Amino acid sequence: MDGIMSKGSLASLATVATVLQFLTGTVICNRYIRKKSTGDTSAFPFISGFLSCFMWLKYGVLTEESTLILVNFIGSALFFSYTVVFFIFCVNKREVIRQMMVISCIILSATLYTLFETDDEKSIRVIGLLCCCLAVLFFASPLTMLAHVIRTQNTDSLPFPIIMASFFVCLLWTAYGVLIGDRFIQIPNLLGGILAGIQLTLYVIYPKKKASFSGGPRYSPLVSENPIL
């Protein structure tokens, strides 16, 4: 793999691609600001994105991986900003506060554990496993959408650009994980890439129907707001 792409160039490519993916949240927040309302959407994608980035940032600090530190520091800052914007314009602020308290407890528990655990290798394994679990839960969230697509045999509810971006970002991080020999990076991103690939195959199985002038039924695409690491 060193002959195909060096660690530095792969790290740079993965960082740029991931940050660009994180920045898609600005489009959603801009819509909230224009409407001065979040409607019936949930803050959970932003809050879970912040939790995921923060935990990967902690893992990067423990393993001294500068690439993980940089990309997840940026991701943590962006998702925290998105959460603040959501909180300002949402109606049910109590629910946002409740979700923030839950992830704050997780972050505090993980931080205290790493502070008092004297075995550095054990700390890395525990935090890495926690990051893996969070990533797998995040990547598994579209499964309900897949069931809807298969049932309706229509892919309009799947955001093609986001899925395609997720597919390539996951492949980049999987390759980076293989390059540095880190299974905690390899496994969740490989699973995420496989899931994104499955979603892409649905576009082949159920191609989008061309617009009809006969006044038949039309479908409104549902835009996914889940941020992907």
Q: What local confidence, expressed as pLDDT, does residue 40 receive?
A: 80
pLDDT at 97: 94
Residue 226: predicted pLDDT = 43
pLDDT of residue 225: 43
Residue 65 lies in a domain: yes
Q: What is the pLDDT of residue 192?
A: 87
**Quick one: pLDDT at residue 113?**
93
Instruction: Give Rg (Cα) of the chain.
Output: 19
Mean pLDDT split into 10-residue runs, the chain, 229 residues:
65 91 89 90 87 94 93 95 94 92 94 91 93 80 71 75 84 92 91 86 76 43 42
Asked whether residue 226 is domain-assigned, the answer is no
Say if 218 falls within a structural domain: no
Domain region containing 154: 1-205
pLDDT of residue 112: 94
How many separate domains does the chain show? 1
| CA 118 – CA 19 distance, rounded (Å) | 33
Is 216 contained in some domain?
A: no
Please indicate, yes or no, if residue 227 is contained in any of the structural domains. Answer: no
